[in-house]
A and B are shown apart, each in its own frame.
Chain A
């Protein structure tokens, strides 16, 4: 039952001290259900302690470990060896940091810079609606929430932004746009005008070309493009 794979990981490295960039190849023999984060950790312990990479929860709930594997943005904590071999049809993988934020070292990027876009989209209720008299909480029908619930699952891993060709130009990016769209659809938000201004601004949703690359790569299987399409139609 225990299969074994002999893998070649070619990892893009960056040393800020010497401003040096290079590719480094590591070979590992591993079982089928190790995750790519387990491989990175093994490289650290067994071969090269200097390789830097990011993760936190390591079960696809925090979105810290996004990297490009053979060009495709993915969460390293969710990618099992066996699945990677099947998906790409090879045991050779080229691993690179995402490009939505500057690289700090090796696979570690400055997520703070990427998050600036989400912060610009105001990821909170700008001005929450007051409670109706006599009520202690809002009443919201499950049907209303169901329309945008999927979008609330976004973990800001920026895989969509990485895949989106428009987001490297002036577009605020799919996940940041979605952060605004969710609040447009939330009946508790009263500041819809300000939100619309941002969504239709220079960096707003009209920069999106509806290629749907975002939906295709989202590890949470959120149909990001669908929400952007709703916003384009004004169907909040």
Chain B
């Protein structure tokens, strides 16, 4: 105590990439391939870029193979538009879908071990919502590396970024963006391991901090996904877009919420409640257990709410069962090998003879930092922040609209990583980075407050309460009363957080201090999610309001929300791009407003 915090040093680079996951390092690798002379910093919160969360993606990467006569980019665009509940931007959809196969080739040529068919060609698999001929049949559109597609991508991009000479700054968080005359010129970094603050000045800054799943108690997301990117943006007075669009996966494994793949249901698994009733028959008499993700998630949640869930004593969590006992051994051993092994590892259960506990788990945030189709961050619907870019899950361009199709996220982060890289290069050509004064004062003041705080509150407990509250009130089901309670309770939690002391005062690897900062980020994200959900009096994609169960044309826009004072939000709108529909080209009529029915 008593030591005043200071900026330890100032570093300079051409491109500062904040977040060294799939998106950030695809961008870094692109820049190095084009301009080996540039100095690129790749900052990551985890211990090494390989530990980033992209490495956990299992299922696949959507990309239309131009050699495939049965599939076409147009079909993929249609599926994405429909799946997103008519809330994706069509200019973005067109661009990302068109760039898919080029990314597959890039990865393949650089050593990704994509799964192959007998002839040695790249294999493809089917994924929910991906169809040919506008819903007529299933599309084989996802390339994959066994059940570890994300790992294959992660290993390739960090290898390439390393080879290109990117400088990894590990175990470090960006806490504040630096501006000069409206232009972003870098960021303040807190090097957690060393306990040092540094100013990193850059010609261009790219945010790629990934997801925000830790806002919820049950999530498939990693411990580090605390929504730092959107929080840093909000603190800079900039808006986030569509924060209320949060996807829940129906079958997370109890307790932590680890993703149990869709395959569970497609291979014949039956969901049952505490009376062992196969309840999906009541909610979706035709499709039953094969109904789309959001319907299954809501059905499970309803069973739990009406008292037909089962309490897991260890994790103190209610769940339903997935029954796989009737499936033949080879299904358990081959087709469901990975998930079966998860049940074994995390619940000590044998799926061949025992019921397995599952419940909806937060999975993906469609919303995020608003960008245009080049990854340039926007300060309003029609103005960008020069020098600042955002890509990957923290960004919102928007490809996914209000509901993401499986495998589209890996596609997005690769294509947008490359496209933002292109834009960064043309931006650097025209511009030089001016220096800033007073860099980092906001960060230093914030952290000093954390270190000086006194009181009886506990960061861990507040976090736990917030996450449980968000799962309960701003989760799968939402309504006016619940959302209003959520907003009030977040304000209360924020007040309490100010009275949570940090015992360790030494700055080196001060986990308590980091978690205190993360708590503020989580609260900021939670508040914009709750407020966005409260404002949007309709149901759209994954955002489901019980009191307004239908989609409404009145809300046919993207939510922009900024928040400089906690809880005091300011809303804006961004129109949803419908340029494919408006182009009048072939099949343009398919891209109008339609019901999301399967």
Q: Give the most central of B105, B146, B313: most A CB within 10 Å.
A: B313
Q: How far is the CB of A221 from chain B (nearest CB, A)?
A: 10
Q: Is B498 an interface residue (CB 8 A)?
A: no
A104's partner among B121, B158, B504, B509 (CB-CB below 8 A) is: B509
Complex CA–CA separation, A202 to B399 (angstroms): 51
A112's partner among B159, B170, B315, B342 (CB-CB below 8 A) is: B170
In the bound complex, do residue B346 and residue A115 qualify as a contact, i.e. CB atoms below 8 Å apart? no
| Segment among A55-63, A166-174, A193-201, A204-212 that sits at the interface with chain B | A55-63
Q: Is B53 an interface residue (CB 8 A)?
A: yes
Complex CA–CA separation, A64 to B224 (angstroms): 12
Q: Report if A124-B160 is in contact (Cβ < 8 Å); known contacts: A82-B348, A104-B193.
A: yes
Contact-residue bracket for chain B: 35 or more
A105's partner among B111, B163, B314, B509 (CB-CB below 8 A) is: B509
In the bound complex, do residue B47 and residue A64 qualify as a contact, i.e. CB atoms below 8 Å apart? yes
Q: Is B318 an interface residue (CB 8 A)?
A: no
CB neighbours (8 Å) of A122 from chain B are: 163
Q: Is B461 an interface residue (CB 8 A)?
A: yes
In the bound complex, do residue B509 and residue A58 qualify as a contact, i.e. CB atoms below 8 Å apart? no
Q: Is A165 an interface residue (CB 8 A)?
A: no
Q: Is B223 an interface residue (CB 8 A)?
A: yes
Q: Report if A142-B116 is in contact (Cβ < 8 Å); known contacts: A58-B222, A61-B56, A124-B110.
A: yes
- Give per-residue flags for B103-147: 1 if the beta carbon is below 8 A from chain A beta carbons, else 0: 011001111010111111110000000000000000000000010
In the bound complex, do residue B67 and residue A156 qualify as a contact, i.e. CB atoms below 8 Å apart? no
CB neighbours (8 Å) of B171 from chain A are: 111-112
Complex CA–CA separation, A139 to B109 (angstroms): 11
Nearest-CB residue, chain A, relative to B145: A152
Q: Is A223 an interface residue (CB 8 A)?
A: no
In the bound complex, do residue A128 and residue B314 qualify as a contact, i.e. CB atoms below 8 Å apart? no
Complex CA–CA separation, A63 to B505 (angstroms): 29
CB neighbours (8 Å) of B460 from chain A are: 41, 44-45, 49
Q: How far is the CB of B334 from chain A (nearest CB, A)?
A: 15
Q: Is B503 an interface residue (CB 8 A)?
A: yes
CB neighbours (8 Å) of A183 from chain B are: 111
Q: Is A145 an interface residue (CB 8 A)?
A: yes
CB neighbours (8 Å) of A152 from chain B are: 113, 152, 155
Q: Report if A123-B222 is in contact (Cβ < 8 Å); known contacts: A111-B48, A137-B108.
A: no
In the bound complex, do residue A128 and residue B109 qualify as a contact, i.e. CB atoms below 8 Å apart? yes
In the bound complex, do residue A141 and residue B55 qualify as a contact, i.e. CB atoms below 8 Å apart? no
CB neighbours (8 Å) of B505 from chain A are: 17
Q: Is B148 an interface residue (CB 8 A)?
A: yes
In the bound complex, do residue A45 and residue B464 qualify as a contact, i.e. CB atoms below 8 Å apart? yes
In the bound complex, do residue B459 and residue A49 qualify as a contact, i.e. CB atoms below 8 Å apart? yes
- Give per-residue flags for A119-133: 1 if the beta carbon is below 8 A from chain B beta carbons, else 0: 100111110100100
Q: Is A90 an interface residue (CB 8 A)?
A: no
Q: How far is the CB of B524 from chain A (nearest CB, A)?
A: 21
In the bound complex, do residue A62 and residue B222 qualify as a contact, i.e. CB atoms below 8 Å apart? yes
Q: How far is the CB of A231 from chain B (nearest CB, A)?
A: 18
Complex CA–CA separation, A216 to B575 (angstroms): 57
In the bound complex, do residue A124 and residue B506 qualify as a contact, i.e. CB atoms below 8 Å apart? no
Q: How far is the CB of A98 from chain B (nearest CB, A)?
A: 12
In the bound complex, do residue B116 and residue A145 qualify as a contact, i.e. CB atoms below 8 Å apart? yes
In the bound complex, do residue B503 and residue A56 qualify as a contact, i.e. CB atoms below 8 Å apart? no
- Give per-residue flags for A95-128: 1 if the beta carbon is below 8 A from chain B beta carbons, else 0: 0000000001100101110010001001111101
Binding site for B on A (CB under 8 A): 1-2, 15-17, 30-35, 38, 41, 44-45, 49-64, 78, 80, 82-83, 104-105, 108, 110-112, 115, 119, 122-126, 128, 131, 136-142, 145, 149, 152-153, 155-156, 183, 186, 188-189
The 4 closest A-B pairs by CB, nearest first: A31-B314, A124-B159, A45-B460, A17-B506
- 18 more A-B contacts (CB under 8 A) besides A33-B347, A57-B55, A145-B116? A17-B508, A31-B315, A32-B348, A45-B461, A45-B464, A50-B503, A52-B509, A62-B50, A62-B55, A63-B51, A105-B511, A123-B158, A124-B162, A138-B109, A139-B116, A140-B116, A142-B116, A183-B111
Q: List 22 A-B contacts (CB under 8 A).
A: A17-B505, A17-B508, A32-B314, A33-B348, A34-B255, A44-B460, A45-B464, A52-B510, A56-B53, A57-B51, A61-B148, A61-B151, A63-B51, A64-B47, A105-B510, A119-B162, A123-B162, A124-B162, A139-B116, A141-B120, A149-B113, A183-B111
